[in-house]
Structure 1
Amino acid sequence: MILSSIDTYTKTNFNIAIDCASLMKGEYICPDPKYDHIDHKTQQPKGCTRENKAKVRCIAADGIKCKETGNQTFYGEIPCKWTNGYHFETTLLLSIFLGMFGVDRFYLGYHAIGLFKFCTLGFLFIGQLVDVVLIATQTVGPADGSYYIIPYYGPRLEILRSNNETFRIPQADWGYIKREL
């Protein structure tokens, strides 16, 4: 009897509306698993923008009420990879079979390189071989800066880059340590 009254008191009086954008990890699930948020045409979250962000429906933990919607749901941003219609498989097949004519580069939007490959038969077939490797490793992508459309469980690569803000851990000079021993 006492437990049920405490539970009822908690549910009615501590269900305060808060700004759900400020929730910490573990206080919400994003995206909401009840909804299909994947665009089957691009294999990315629906509404992915050029800034590689998509707004999806999220759900707050039990007992949390969001100011934005007045219930347990809110919209949050998740990372995505913006695509503009270039398929990875199509590009790779064009590079293998028609790369000597520059069709792969024309398809990706690199018209000057495509014309040069056409005039020189793929730089005497060496350029074709180089392009097959560059496209297969996803080093060369579409000219508009978008990503390839790759099946959700396909051969997607994550390219890690470092710049001046990248933190590097100092490594021990093993030759110096060996000399001391």
Structure 2
Amino acid sequence: MPLIGHYLVHIVVIFGLISVVVSEPTLVATDSTVCNDTNQICSQLSHSCLECKLNYSCVYGQSVATDCQPLVTTNCSGETKVKRSYLCAFCYQLPQHHHNCSPNSSCDYNSRYKSRCEVNDDKVICLGNRVFYKYKQCNFVSGYKWSTALLLSITLGGFGIDRFYLGLWQEGVGKLFSFGGLGVWTLIDVILIATGYLKPSDGSVYI
């Protein structure tokens, strides 16, 4: 019987070792984050490493003071009660320079597209989700210069070079063989480009 007990103890120890090995990758992944840097001072932690009490009943645009404390998985030194202040606004209401949004170069000019945005400064505190979606105006650039298009329209517009430059090949060919519509088409294009009405074929805006 003592022999059986001896084996049982070893079996329990073996299973215990297996359990440690299985959970070890998770522990390593957590320790590799910036929140587990033991050299950090608690008062200098980024927002993602803190748990703050946010007041959702605050007045929009008002500066609010709050108490924060490090997350239970965060290692830091010094006073754990951290004072922070934040602007009473949801994350999507912050000024544009606080947002990083995914661009879209395949949308049509003057249309709107759904963009994934996130708060780009980890020290900025805001209400709600830090990652959100918002509709943005489709205004992307692809290298076309307004000054170049206007210069080509004035000097070589009669040969359709301005239209070719903007990627409008069919109109360019028509303009070339009609000698710029005997000058009328050329004059119209100069006005359209000068006012910004005539744009590149891909829907982008001028540089």
Kindly name which structure, 1 or 2, has the bigger radius of gyration based on alpha carbons. Answer: 2
Q: How high is the TM-score relative to the length of structure 1? A: 0.50
Structure with greater helix share of residues: 2
